[in-house]
Structure 1
């Protein structure tokens, strides 16, 4: 026997509310820190963009952080059949230094961007617990960004 539409809607809403309540508890200890954007030239034409970077930490990943990089939509002119919709790239480095433990490292990536921006590039880094300073640079003319975040033990 089929449930009436109102009963099915109530069941779906109740299930969604439970999912939101259960799902929100898992993110309670998560922290996201975004750094200033890096305006930069890119290769593949006469291109420029801004690179966004941010980190995510969580009590569930002690001594680790997820580093994220994403370019905003590119502007400029490139070669090919669609010169005003160029596809350009920029080598991006997120260098980090743990001020508490002395550990250092870097997340290096070639970020490919177009008129809609780039995909999100992400990677876990074993920073160790403590205060971590970050410098974001590219291999082209750019204005580097600096920031810091805390990693739980």
Structure 2
């Protein structure tokens, strides 16, 4: 017959092993996909730079993605007292199409940028699950860029 101490120790270690297995389950993995930058001009001066666009997805938000837009530092000449450190803007559009369902949408935002770039603009998009193709462009002279990412169910 086993001693009560041995039985208690076995129960305690067995319980800890079960808790460890539950706690160490891998978390849902978010994913970030960056697309090629959009070289572009900006208005309110003679300004140029590029726009970064990327998507964040996660199993925690099935059928949805966050589209992110941010201008890199710009260069140029603008009106005002600090003409060599201008604030310039453009209308940036990220158009998307779900290749599995045919759903479409777009995220449009006025991006204001300066010598340090811009703030990050971001918005959830209800893309539905599937393979999403995006085209990013601005309303000023630019070179549109395309990219793709997958949204989980």
Aligned length: 129
* 1:54 aligned partner: 54
Q: Unaligned 5+ residue runs, structure 1?
A: 1-21
* 2:150 aligned partner: 150
RMSD across aligned positions (CA): 1.2
Which 4+ runs in 1 deviate beyond 2 A? none
CA deviation after TM superposition for structure 1 residue 142, in Å: 0.5
Distance 2:29 2:127 in 1: 18
* 1:88 aligned partner: 88
CA deviation after TM superposition for structure 1 residue 74, in Å: 1.1
Deviations 1:66-95 (A, max 9, x none): 000000111000011000000000100000
Distance 1:140 1:120 in 2: 20
Distance 1:148 1:52 in 2: 14
1:1-153 mapped onto 2 (5 Å cutoff): 28-153=28-153
Distance 1:81 1:60 in 2: 48
Larger radius of gyration: 2
Distance 1:131 1:79 in 2: 44
CA deviation after TM superposition for structure 1 residue 62, in Å: 0.2
SS at match of 2:90: strand
Distance 1:105 1:87 in 2: 29
SS at match of 1:90: strand
Distance 2:117 2:44 in 1: 14
SS at match of 1:50: strand
CA deviation after TM superposition for structure 1 residue 49, in Å: 1.0
TM norm structure 2: 0.82
Q: Unaligned 5+ residue runs, structure 2?
A: 1-22
TM norm structure 1: 0.82
